């Protein structure tokens, strides 16, 4: 069979699942994801489809898809590259049939275990499962198939998906046996025979693990049930050839660097951001195709895996101001990092992936400070999450890697067209509404920074303390206003609906100590004003000195805040 990595010899056979489990000793590689079929989804669908096939035509074959095996597994076992979920689920069903037959007094129940699940070699001391899973899954699976650790009847909250699937099959088979009465034993034996011969898989076997990944990738090149990370992993492993061990090791170190257990959607997101910082902006839809085109040879796979590991460590540090990487890169800029972590903006991550790796510490510190101002201006203007920012930041990252951009001045020249002018920023800030979901996070930061500017403190845009347990956000006109207490505000606004439009205006928000905030809640303004006057925050104290709280007062205050904003987040 031809592939993108050369010619691969393979065997292809159509076999019953039972025959596969009976005649092979199989192992799931340790790095593969754990068993993850859910009882209320895949396991239920598997049972429904299989029972329907047996009921409607026990003499007809039922095709369950393709699995990929490699012949170079440890201890003469074949490695499962693709197909773990179906094989494990099928063996759990067979184990449940064994238990149900045992309960019915069938004398051949033990033969089912020996034939399909676990057996003892003549020179071995213990019974060994025909299928060996990874370190997480093997203990519960081993306990079931060898009967050395069957799950308790009463389920536990932390039961594994393996235990849950096994219990599900036991319950369904008990119902089936009850339905068939005296013929239950014959019905269950019919199930075993069907699973052994008629429930079939296309088994693809290759000589080596690297070849198996080539086949796996070819079979799944449209990504039907796979994440981009799955496809990339198998392409990398297939291309790795002689470097497979090193590539695989770097891949799993990259996952670990991000504190992930598997290459899930978060890892795919990292891959997209990393690739955008290397080659220019890419969508997740196009990511795999672009990577596949660049990583072709064995050395390509090795180099990419090494670079990916470096990128993963930097990416982890971008979300953790305490990460050890910052000790060398910019030890004095933890407050700036705290602020950027709060924003959690994709364009910043893409740019910093390249900058942190290639720029000197002094330039990184200047860039972190600048990114805070550029980010706030972009958030207020509503442009930061639009495609243009990511386009430009990605290309800057590419040029940093090439060496054509080497300092903050050159970066600033490239982003100049994106960043709002002081006039535009001030005008938009005077009208800015903080969305409901982001209110506590961004509004508290905005007000804290503006407070520090008002007091002429150094570096007001940095976060000294963002602990909501100490400093809370208070909406002057409350989120759940009592109409009787706020009738004047509502009347001036026009209607209750019109009044509510002012709730999330930044001018309607103040900072308070958390212990105070909990006591004033939805009280009328005259009560709140007394609390505000006693506040340690100067901008909050100013609100308390207002004779009344109206939409006009909110707008007037917000214009004052807008003037401070231009100074707080300079262009």
Q: What is the pLDDT of residues 311-350, one digit of tens each?
A: 999 999 999 988 999 888 777 667 888 899 989 999 999 9
State whether residue 78 is helix, strand or coil. Answer: strand
- Return the pLDDT at 152: 76
Q: Read off the tokens for 199.
A: 């429930």
- Return the pLDDT at 8: 47
- Return the pLDDT at 74: 76
Give the mean pLDDT of the chain: 87
- Return the pLDDT at 520: 75
- Distance between CA atoms of 292 and 286, rounded to whole angstroms? 10
Choice among 168-172, 232-236, 297-301, 460-464 with the minimum mean pLDDT: 460-464
pLDDT at 211 over 60: yes
- Distance between CA atoms of 225 and 35, rounded to whole angstroms? 15
The reported pTM is: 0.69
- Distance between CA atoms of 270 and 410, rounded to whole angstroms? 26
User: What is the pLDDT averaged over residues 172-200?
Assistant: 93
Dihedral sign from CA coordinates of 256, 259, 260, 266: negative
Closest C-alpha to 447, from 507, 399, 501: 507
pLDDT at 58 over 70: no
Torsion, Cα of 5, 8, 11, 14 (10° steps): 30
Q: What is the pLDDT of residues 368-425, one digit of tens each?
A: 999 999 999 999 998 988 778 999 999 999 999 999 999 999 999 999 999 999 999 9
Residue whose entry in the numeric block shows the structure tokens 């800029």:
333
- Distance between CA atoms of 439 and 308, rounded to whole angstroms? 35
- Distance between CA atoms of 216 and 80, rounded to whole angstroms? 11
pLDDT at 91 over 60: yes
- Return the pLDDT at 519: 67
pLDDT at 522 over 90: no
- Distance between CA atoms of 249 and 116, rounded to whole angstroms? 33
| Cβ–Cβ < 8 Å for 44, 150 | no
pLDDT at 208 over 80: no
Q: What is the pLDDT of residues 253-312, one digit of tens each?
A: 999 999 988 877 899 999 999 999 999 999 887 888 788 888 989 999 999 999 999 999
pLDDT at 436 over 80: no
What distance lies between CA 280 and its chain's CA centroid?
A: 22
| Cβ–Cβ < 8 Å for 88, 32 | no
- Return the pLDDT at 332: 65
User: Following DSSP, what letter does each residue of 189-207 receive, concatenated?
Assistant: HHHHHIIIIIEEEEEEEES
User: Following DSSP, what letter does each residue of 328-354 receive, concatenated?
Assistant: HH-TT-HHHHHHHHHH--HHHHHHHHH
- Return the pLDDT at 2: 39
- Return the pLDDT at 517: 55
- Return the pLDDT at 366: 93
Q: What is the pLDDT of residues 154-177, one digit of tens each?
A: 778 788 999 999 999 999 999 999
pLDDT at 224 over 50: no
């Amino acid at each position: 069979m031809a592939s993108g990595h050369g010619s691969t010899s393979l065997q292809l056979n159509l076999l019953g699942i039972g025959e596969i489990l009976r005649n092979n000793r199989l192992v799931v590689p340790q790095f593969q994801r754990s068993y993850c079929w859910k009882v209320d989804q895949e396991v239920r669908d598997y049972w429904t489809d299989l029972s329907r096939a047996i009921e409607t035509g026990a003499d007809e074959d039922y095709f369950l898809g393709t699995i990929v095996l490699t012949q170079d597994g440890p201890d003469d076992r074949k490695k499962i590259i693709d197909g773990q979920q179906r094989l494990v689920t099928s063996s759990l069903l067979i184990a449940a049939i064994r238990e149900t037959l045992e309960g019915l007094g069938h004398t051949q129940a033990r033969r089912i275990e020996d034939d399909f699940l676990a057996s003892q070699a003549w020179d071995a001391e213990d019974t060994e499962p025909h299928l060996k899973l990874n370190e997480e899954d093997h203990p519960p699976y081993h306990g079931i198939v060898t009967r050395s650790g069957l799950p308790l009847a009463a389920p536990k909250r932390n039961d594994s998906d393996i235990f849950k699937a096994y219990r599900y099959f036991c319950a369904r088979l008990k119902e089936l046996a009850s339905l068939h009465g005296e013929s239950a034993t014959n019905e269950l034996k019919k199930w075993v025979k069907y699973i052994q011969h008629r429930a079939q898989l296309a088994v693809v076997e290759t000589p080596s693990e690297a070849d198996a990944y080539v086949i796996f990738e070819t079979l799944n090149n449209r990504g039907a049930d796979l994440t981009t990370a799955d496809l990339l992993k198998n392409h990398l492993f297939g291309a790795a050839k002689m470097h497979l061990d090193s590539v695989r090791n770097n891949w799993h170190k990259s996952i670990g660097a991000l504190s992930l257990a598997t290459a899930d959607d978060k890892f795919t997101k990292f891959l997209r951001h990393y690739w955008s910082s290397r080659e220019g902006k890419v969508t997740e839809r196009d990511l795999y195709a672009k990577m596949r085109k660049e990583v072709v040879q064995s050395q390509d796979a090795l180099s990419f895996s090494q670079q990916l590991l470096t990128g993963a460590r930097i990416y982890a540090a971008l979300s953790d101001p305490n990460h050890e990487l910052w000790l060398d890169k910019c030890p004095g800029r933890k407050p700036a990092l705290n602020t950027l972590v709060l924003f959690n903006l994709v364009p910043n991550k893409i740019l910093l992936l390249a900058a942190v790796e290639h720029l000197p510490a002094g330039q990184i510190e200047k860039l972190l400070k600048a990114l805070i101002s550029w980010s706030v201006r972009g958030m207020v203007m509503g442009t930061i999450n639009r495609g243009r920012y990511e386009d430009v930041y990605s290309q800057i990252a590419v040029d940093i890697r090439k060496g054509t951009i080497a300092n903050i001045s050159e970066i600033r020249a490239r982003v100049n067209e994106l960043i709002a002018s002081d006039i535009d920023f001030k005008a938009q800030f005077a009208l800015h509404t903080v969305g409901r979901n982001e209110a506590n996070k961004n509004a508290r930061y905005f007000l804290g920074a503006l407070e520090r500017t008002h007091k002429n403190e150094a570096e007001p845009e940095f976060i000294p303390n963002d602990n909501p347990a100490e400093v809370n956000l208070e909406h002057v006109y409350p989120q759940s206003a009592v109409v009787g207490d706020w009738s004047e505000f509502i009347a001036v606004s026009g209607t209750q609906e019109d009044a509510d439009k002012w709730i999330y205006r930044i001018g309607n928000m103040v900072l308070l100590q958390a212990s105070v905030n909990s006591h004033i809640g939805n009280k009328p303004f005259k009560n709140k004003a007394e609390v505000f006057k006693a506040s340690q925050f100067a901008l909050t104290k100013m609100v308390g000195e207002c004779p009344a709280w109206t939409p006009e007062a909110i707008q007037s205050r917000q214009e004052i805040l807008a003037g401070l904003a231009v100074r707080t987040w300079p262009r």
